[in-house]
Amino acid sequence: MTTTPYFDKYSRTKIQIQDLETYIGALPKNSPARTSLSRAINTLQKEADKIRNQIAELETDFLKRIVSKYHNERLEKQDLFQEGYQALLKSIDTYDPTFGVPFEAYAYIWIRKSLSQMVETQTGPVRIPDSVVRANRKANAPVHGCSFEPYEDTYIIDEPNAEELHICRETKRFLTCCIDNLDNTRRKILLKRYFTNKLIPLEEVAQEYGISREQTRLLEKSALQDIKKKLYYSKATSFRRTIH
């Protein structure tokens, strides 16, 4: 069963909570409206938690398949499942359906990272701090090839061939062109949020440009939709050229 309707409802509920919290923050401390608005936020938060649990329940089999790949005599399956479940909840909280990435592909990274860290840090005679594990992993990684470090993990891949380099250059050129064609505000939001060393939170981007978090989210969504449309048109044009 698809989780898309649940995510749509979950996103709307979280936005309602954030809007109410922002509104309460602007009210005087002795305002009588604070009490009723606080109750409304608590009600919405309970609804959001219920939806999140429903999504997690639908993804339980997916989580079990990942956990089943981790075998260690020092760790119980139930402990691994609980660790993975917490990562699943975190992925639900941070997932944005508007990016067009399937949820399970997004959650897989969170769950795998969490389980790998648990196995590495807790299966020895002494628990090793996560920071030490990451430092050792980077120190022992081969220096050849290309490295990419999402979520502080390291993956070593082979040298790209000429065709792959050409695809990368063309993709970069196309995305740069799409971003340059956006209006100034949306271009700045995408560059600030994604083209740095880490993903910048919406709140930080909104604060820098003096607009609300919701305005920032909508501008980002609009920019990404424009890029997706240009990508679709580009693919369709290439296909028509091919068949002719």
At residue 39, the pLDDT reads 92
pLDDT, tens digit, 9 for 90 and up, residues 170-192: 777 777 788 888 889 998 888 88
Buried b (16+ CB within 10 A) or exposed e, 194-204: eeeeeebebee
Please give the structure tokens belonging to residue 136: 């050792």
Q: How far is CA 156 from CA 116, 135, 140, in A?
A: 17, 16, 12
Instruction: Say which residue the tokens 């220096």 belong to.
Output: 143
**Is-contact 97 55, C-beta < 8 A?**
no
| CA proximity to 164, closest of 145, 149, 177, 151 | 145
Specify the pLDDT at position 53: 93
Residue type, 41: I
Q: What is the pLDDT of residue 240?
A: 43
What is the pLDDT at residue 233?
64
Residues of the chain with pLDDT > 70, as a percent, come to 70
Cα separation, 80 vs 115, whole angstroms: 7
Q: pTM, whole model, 2 decimals?
A: 0.50
Tokens of 104: 């399970």
Helix (H) or strand (E) segment spanning residue 155: strand 155-157
Mean pLDDT of 208-234: 83
pLDDT digits (tens, 9 = 90+) for 45-73: 999 999 999 999 999 999 998 888 886 65
Closest C-alpha to 115, from 141, 142, 88: 88
DSSP 3-state of 143: coil
